[in-house]
Structure 1
Amino acid sequence: MAQQWTHRGGGWLPPERPRPGVVPLRPLGPGDILGGALAALGRYGGRLCGALLLGQLAAGLLVTAAAGAAALASLSPRSGNRVFVWVLFPAAALFLLFTCALATALIAALLRPAVLGRAVTAPGLLRAALPRTPKVLGAQLLALLAAAGPGAAVLAAGLPPLVLLPLAPVALWLGVQFALAPTAAGYEGLAPVAALRRSARLVRGAWWRTFGWTAPAVAFTVGAGYALLVWSGLPGALSALVLLPAFPQLPAGLLYVDRRIRREHLAEALAADPDRDPVIPG
């Protein structure tokens, strides 16, 4: 259907793109991404945190059960506290990894309703996100391994820290190249390796733009988490676990939408048929 030009502001202007949800259906500028992230938090933040809390509660029950078993085992005079430490620390690490992966999967599940302005529920978000959380976690771990693996190997080999200096630009470049992989895994259901390839294709030609949005969000999250821990102790740390993992993923998710709009004409596809979202690799 042909679009009609309209007379606005003393002249003839092209038609405005529709905005059914938190962002307009057109290539997004910095204001659109920031405003869209804040609008998504305002409109869906309660349900997003509710879904994350539900998932964390289920995972927390498993961690508590493992810690309880470790505590019982540590009562043995032979094992002392070693079993407790060996079980508790890995369980806590897995809980943190699960929380970050679930937050990303929830944001990916929220993207389509948020862009189209549709209602969601916390249980509905959780049902959509949980099946793809393992793939998101795999993509996160692979992206981290690609970026930080060589540096970790250098440190593990006992080489001088100065050897890391030439690796730092490579690590940064790879980290940004794969920054959209977790969102791609959650939104499209891609396997981890396919999600990394998908991220590299979407970031191609927009490395600095991707860096400009992901790095400040990660820095803010780390700083806010540290501040909550220092100012509020354990309650602050628990609040950070609930609230902060989702924040960096909102700008990254909207940046993912922007890259697909620019490269794959996603806006036109959604405007023409909101119930169909074709994935166009390439």
Structure 2
Amino acid sequence: MNDSPGWATPGSSPSDGERQGAPADQPATGDPKWSAQQPPPGQWSSPAAGQGAPPAPPQQPQPGQGWGSYGQQQGGQYSGPYGYPGGPGPWGKPPAAKPGVIPLRPLGLGEILDGAVSTMRSHWRSVLPITLVVATVVQVISILVQKLLLADLAVSISETPTPEELVNGLGSGLSITVATKLIEFLGTVVVTAMLTMIFSRAILGQGSTVSEAWRDARPQLLRLIGLTLLLGIGLSLLGAVLLLPPILGGSVGLALVGGLAWMVLAVWLWIAFSLASPVLMLEKSGIFTAFGRSWKLVKGSWWRIFGITALTVLIVFFVSMIIVMPLTLIGVLASGTGMTGLTDGSAGTTWGALIFSAVGLIIAQTITMPMQSGVTVLLYVDQRIRREALDLELARAAGVENYGHGATGG
């Protein structure tokens, strides 16, 4: 059983029929699955006779009071007289309970991005040391690998390479890519694991130190490595199945079609399993259970999750380019090889160019890695709120009183 407050997986997955303890008239498969503690429908009531005029609209209404029915879910959004908890009422739109960086209700795009940035800003003492240390270690090792391997790789754009030189160049380039990506992979897994725990506490309004994040993440770290490797290997095998036969058969047209099909399927599967990481870390599940849970949480919301993820990737890309490109250019110009170094590519292998580029990458990754991890965690939380009423469990874990009770409830 998961021992993380508020993150326990429901008795059954969101697409497996009725939840344990749910009422008999619970919606059928495909509709939101609410927990047994779903608040009963309520209505805004006027003051009893003799009590005088109603008071001014409250700035912070008590959670669970006067929110009415949850309504039904249509197109991924809540409908009904008041929408979602904290939705509009006769006095406007009182805010939902917000013990931490996000309100406990279905989240919009802006709230997901703002929650990621707010966590970075309010918990920077825990977030930035993790990303800074990991990014620095990764880039130092990458510099050494690139310097050793690139020294043997001579690239000239002014001459036509022979087939043997082309094969050697591709082999050296592939070796560099594999080595650097493996280092980045291990660093990213560590950062993802620790940041997931920090974000989970930030949602509950709790702080987290680096040592606490490591302690919470360490038991699941090997499983997260296995999950990420399994997903990468699976996508690579899919590409091999679609690309190798036409390539070996010498059919360029079929190879292009296979490559396009592989890209489409890879993106689709990547989004379908994009929530497996927070499932694994927060629900303390196994690898294949995490894949299954992610599949069911994403089902029916694939395009929404894809859009938010793609926008996050674009933001991260442009922020990284703004930071990395100027420093890389400075390093290349300061390499001392002049225009010859720029034309034959040797400028990129000098210590100055590699160091300046690494400094830019360290700064960029220190800023962007928390945002990517935060958006993934908040998408997971958002889907569980929409599908499983996770907001009720989180509110109780955060100590929000009377959350989930009707207007007349005790």
TM-score class normalised by the smaller sequence: 0.7 to 0.9
Aligned pair partner of 1:237 in 356, 361, 364: 361
Which one-letter code corresponds to 1:264 in the other structure? Answer: E
1:94 and 1:250 map into 2 onto residues whose CA distance is: 22
Task: Please tell me whether the aligned partners of residues 52 and 102 of structure 1 are also in contact (alpha carbons under 8 angstroms).
Answer: no
2:105 and 2:89 map into 1 onto residues whose CA distance is: 24
2:115 and 2:109 map into 1 onto residues whose CA distance is: 10
Instruction: Calculate the TM-score normalised by the size of structure 1.
Output: 0.76
2:174 and 2:271 map into 1 onto residues whose CA distance is: 34
Change (3 A) 1:94 1:147: closer
Task: Please tell me whether the aligned partners of residues 143 and 179 of structure 1 are also in contact (alpha carbons under 8 angstroms).
Answer: no
3-state SS of 2:195 partner: helix
- Residues 107-256 of structure 1: matches in 2 within 5 Å? 107-156=195-244, 158=247, 160-233=255-328, 234=357, 235-256=359-380
More displaced stretch, 192-201 vs 92-101: 92-101
Aligned-pair CA distance for 1:89: 7.2
Equivalent in the alignment of 1:279: none
2:377 and 2:218 map into 1 onto residues whose CA distance is: 17
More displaced stretch, 107-116 vs 12-21: 12-21
Task: Please tell me whether the aligned partners of residues 4 and 14 of structure 1 are also in contact (alpha carbons under 8 angstroms).
Answer: no
Task: Please tell me whether the aligned partners of residues 276 and 294 of structure 2 are also in contact (alpha carbons under 8 angstroms).
Answer: yes
Change (3 A) 1:208 1:98: same
1:156 and 1:228 map into 2 onto residues whose CA distance is: 38
**Structure 1 unaligned regions, length at least 5:** 72-84, 276-282
1:224 and 1:24 map into 2 onto residues whose CA distance is: 27
Task: Please tell me whether the aligned partners of residues 135 and 362 of structure 2 are also in contact (alpha carbons under 8 angstroms).
Answer: no
Aligned-pair CA distance for 1:53: 3.7
CA RMSD for the aligned pairs? 3.5
Aligned pair partner of 2:116 in 37, 40, 44: 37
Cα deviations by residue, 1:16-37 (Å, 9 ceiling, x for unpaired): 4210111011111222212211
Cα deviations by residue, 1:92-126 (Å, 9 ceiling, x for unpaired): 43321111112221231022211111122122223
Cα deviations by residue, 1:128-158 (Å, 9 ceiling, x for unpaired): 2233232222222333344453224444553
2:316 and 2:89 map into 1 onto residues whose CA distance is: 45
For the pair shown, the structure with the greater C-alpha radius of gyration is 2
Compare the two structures and name the one with the higher helix fraction: 1
1:109 and 1:255 map into 2 onto residues whose CA distance is: 15
- Residues 7-22 of structure 1: matches in 2 within 5 Å? 11-12=90-91, 16-22=95-101
Equivalent in the alignment of 1:79: none
Instruction: Calculate the TM-score normalised by the size of structure 2.
Output: 0.54
3-state SS of 2:206 partner: coil
Task: Please tell me whether the aligned partners of residues 272 and 302 of structure 2 are also in contact (alpha carbons under 8 angstroms).
Answer: yes
1:56 and 1:223 map into 2 onto residues whose CA distance is: 18
3-state SS of 1:273 partner: helix
Aligned-pair CA distance for 1:249: 1.7
**Structure 2 unaligned regions, length at least 5:** 1-38, 41-63, 68-87, 150-172, 329-356, 400-410
2:127 and 2:270 map into 1 onto residues whose CA distance is: 26
What is the percentage of aligned positions where both structures have the same residue? Answer: 29
